[in-house]
Structure 1
Amino acid sequence: MPTLIRLYVHYVDLVNRKIGRVAMYLLFVMGGIQIYSTFSRLITGMPVNWALEMTQFLLATYFLVGAAYSMQEGAHVRMDLFYGALKPKRQAFVDVFTIIFVIFYLAVMVRGGWSSTEYAITYNQKNYSAWSPPMWPVKSLMTLGIILMLLQAISNLFKDIATAIGKPLT
């Protein structure tokens, strides 16, 4: 494989690994917010109106920003009726074919996410709730997560092509 492709794969994998590791800690942040909300309601009798919504935003960020790391680690669900019985080279051929559909889907998702984020920024979109937070931060993070997953899918495509032709990038 050309040096440029090797560098692309190396740096995309590195960035997604680091971001994915950081995203894991969002679970603790979500737990802390929920504990704070519970104690606030039980001790002071005053519920925190932003806690549930903030946890939902963090959960969406956790899933979408961490998705590229999951893809890199092969942790996504795979339909394994025949795939597991194939040799690694054949699996790579199947992966090359299927990842093209994933890349197309993610490209469409990036387009939609970008449009939605642009709308949220332009019109200062707010969520319809008592807290009424601005939507652009969560939409931006979700779009970033989809972009990272698209970059990782392309990286996986390069790795699968290299494996299919008998020259793995590892």
Structure 2
Amino acid sequence: MTLASGIDRISRFFGIIAAVLVAVACSISAGNALSRYALDLSSNAFLEIQWQMFAATFLLGAPYVLKLNEHVRVDLVYGSLGPRGKLKVDIIGYLVFFFPVCFIMLEMAFPWAWASMRAGEISANAGGLPVWPAKLLLPFGFVLLTLQGLAEFIRRVAALRGDIALDVHYEKPVQ
């Protein structure tokens, strides 16, 4: 459980960074709108840094959301299962869906991001920013997400074995 706790701390750290990036991106967006309409000044760099921060928010924040068990889930039967049933569904879900998707994303994203970084890729827009830092966020974010998935998997296996108590309570969203 020490490994899982360490991964949790990493996810929390990057989750806080993601939350700060939301505030920064909103400030840049508001500043861009004000400068464009009040001063008739604008820059593609403002728009590009916003989408890069938006990407960072999701890629850095996703592991923390997974840690908090607030991620999107398709609830066909999960809500009606007991605690052990939920643990089993989670374990199967991690093995059959979560980890394979993460590994595929990592396998595809690393070469793509690495090539972009080595080429020093920048935006084709006038006044555009370097693109490669945002592209590097994709494999980095999936490494973090995979690690948090590992922590959750370890926790659920331990709970299923009876080594720890784990709250798998899930509230189905009201629609």
User: Among residues 150, 157, 161, which one is paired with 1:165 in the alignment?
Assistant: 161
TM-score, scaled to structure 2: 0.88
2:75 match: 80
AA at the equivalent of 1:41: R
Distance 1:49 1:81 in 2: 44
1:27 equivalent to 2:49? Answer: no
Q: Secondary structure at the match of 1:79?
A: coil
Q: Is the 8 A contact 2:49 2:129 kept in 1?
A: no
- Residue correspondences, number: 165
- AA at the equivalent of 1:59: F
Ranges of 4+ aligned residues in structure 1 off by more than 3 Å: none
Match status 1:110 vs 2:101: no
Report the counterpart of residue 131 of structure 2 in structure 1: 135
Compute the RMSD of aligned alpha carbons: 1.4
**Partner Cα distance (2:112, 2:121) in 1:** 10
Of all paired residues, the percent bearing the same amino acid is 26
Give the deviation of 1:169 after TM superposition: 6.3
Contact 1:159 1:169 in 2 (8 A): no
**How far apart, CA to CA, are the structure 2 residues paired with 1:55 and 1:94?**
37
Task: Report the alpha carbon displacement of residue 49 of structure 1 after superposing the two structures with TM.
Answer: 2.2
TM-superposition CA deviations, 1:129-158 (whole Å, max 9, x none): 122322221112222111100001111111
TM-score by length of 1: 0.91
CA apart distance, 1:39:
1.5
Uncovered stretches (5+) of structure 2, i.e. residues with no partner: 167-175
Match of 1:96 among 87, 91, 94: 91
Q: State the distance in 2 between where 1:103 and 1:169 align.
A: 24
| Greater CA drift, 27-36 or 76-85 | 76-85
